[in-house]
Amino acid sequence: MKFLSIEPFVPSGSNFEGSKQLFQELGFKINWDDGNFVGFERDGCKFILQSYDNIEFAQNLMLSVRVSNVEEFWKDVTEKQLPEKFGVRLGLPTKQPYGKEVILIDIAGVCWHFIE
């Protein structure tokens, strides 16, 4: 028996539709949508966006996503002007002991660590 994947449930915050749009702009595709939950995937990375607004929970949730090129990710997000469009916060590429990373705080307040 093997574990095959892990797909966290991520809160959308108060703007479920805006969160769906943000993740599509980040290149995630919708695999399924039942109205209150949406299955997203990009390059085999999956998560479930849920229509759930609990700021305390969201601001204490952090996710780590491995990417092949942090600079390219940062450039893509910046060129698409996602911080301006969605009010998300985007850090600069920063060297950490575990690799180079860019932090994105999404609409709900979840901290996404994109790490090379």
User: Domains plus CATH for the chain?
Assistant: 9-115 (3.10.180.10)
Exposure string over 57-79, b if 16+ CB within 10 A, otherwise e? ebeebeeebebeebeebbeebee
Determine the longest span between alpha carbons in the chain, in angstroms: 46
Structure confidence by residue, pLDDT tens digits, 68-108: 999 999 999 999 999 999 999 999 999 999 999 999 999 99
pLDDT value at residue 60: 97
pLDDT value at residue 18: 98
Return phi, psi of residue 14, to 5°. Answer: -80, -10
Structure confidence by residue, pLDDT tens digits, 21-66: 999 999 999 999 999 999 999 999 999 999 999 999 999 999 999 9
